Amino acid sequence: MGNCLTVNKDTISKLAFEPKFNKSEHYVINFISATNVPQADLTSPSDPYLKACIYTEGENHTKKRITKIHETLIKNDNPNPCWNSFFDFQVNPPANSFLKVEIYDFDNFNEHDLLGIIDVPLSKLTTEDIQTIVVGNNSKFTISLKRILPGPNGFPNEKTFFIIRHGESKWNLAQSKMNLTGMINYDHSLTLKGIEQAKSVNASWKEAKSSGLKGNSDTKKYVDLFINATQVYASPLTRASQTALFVMEDHPALNKGLTLYR
């Protein structure tokens, strides 16, 4: 069941700005998803994204934005977008503070359509329970979010990502030979050379692992981080997925499966 909150018509852009954010402070919100986003255009579903900030309300209902404005990615043609975005507002919010969230329909050529606004008292965000909030008077139009609280050691300061480009694809081969016909297809697989390139990376990290690099070199540091990686992500395009599977063969992280993102 959603929490139906009063929609405040003051948009983020109209709020006076009195910055109180500080890099040493942390207030983290996970913006999860929305459901039944209204269709702003006649010909296609909306392309929704969120804007969010924290503001305070003082005497005479004076509202002041105290944080930066954060934006999610745009989800094209999607009435039920899932963002799963985490934003740190870097603030220790004073009493009577609110989270303002606006949901827009992105437009390439015109002003983006404002689809709805919610104002959430931060007093409602004291646990990590998911809050599903009704937007306006449409009980089916909701936004889900939750507060992320620090652990015993606070928030983690760093995550390491290894970005690996796919091996040579049939498109790459066709391009090198100016073969326009070979470049026509959308989803090209790896060539034999591309497969060997990916297998070579696999052999390299396995060799580094078995040899047990000595010392405190940067190479050892990053080999250890790679070997202890916990998740594998790839584009759903064939060349990217093939590369991930060949590169990560026998890696413990692949036991969880390959997560496809686009």
Q: Please return the burial class of 72, using the count of CB atoms within 10 Å of its CB with bins 0-12, 13-18 and 19+.
A: buried
pLDDT value at residue 157: 66
pLDDT value at residue 7: 42
Contact 55, 122 (CB under 8 A): no
Q: Where are the alpha helices (DSSP H) in the chain?
A: 170-176, 192-211, 218-227, 238-247
Residue by residue, pLDDT tens for the chain (262 residues) are 344 444 445 789 889 999 888 888 899 999 999 999 999 888 889 999 999 999 998 888 889 999 999 999 999 999 999 999 999 999 999 989 999 999 999 998 889 999 999 999 999 998 889 999 999 888 999 999 999 998 887 776 677 899 999 999 999 999 999 998 888 888 999 999 999 999 999 999 999 888 876 655 777 888 888 999 999 999 999 999 999 999 999 999 999 999 998 6
Contact 202, 246 (CB under 8 A): yes
The amino acid present at 31, given as its one-letter code, is: F
Rg (CA), the chain: 23
pLDDT value at residue 24: 82
pLDDT value at residue 154: 77
Instruction: Please give the CATH number for the structural domain made up of 3-148.
Output: 2.60.40.150
Cα separation, 134 vs 145, in Å, equals 12
Contact 205, 222 (CB under 8 A): no
pLDDT value at residue 105: 96
> What residue ranges do the domains of the chain occupy?
3-148, 170-260
Helix (H, G, I), strand (E, B), or coil: what is residue 148?
A: strand
> Distance from first CA to last CA of the chain, Å, rounded?
30
Query: Can you read off the two tokens belonging to residue 190?
Result: 């790896």
Query: Can you read off the two tokens belonging to residue 248?
Result: 């990560």
Main-chain phi, psi angles of 99, to 5 degrees: -95, 120
Helix (H, G, I), strand (E, B), or coil: what is residue 57?
A: strand
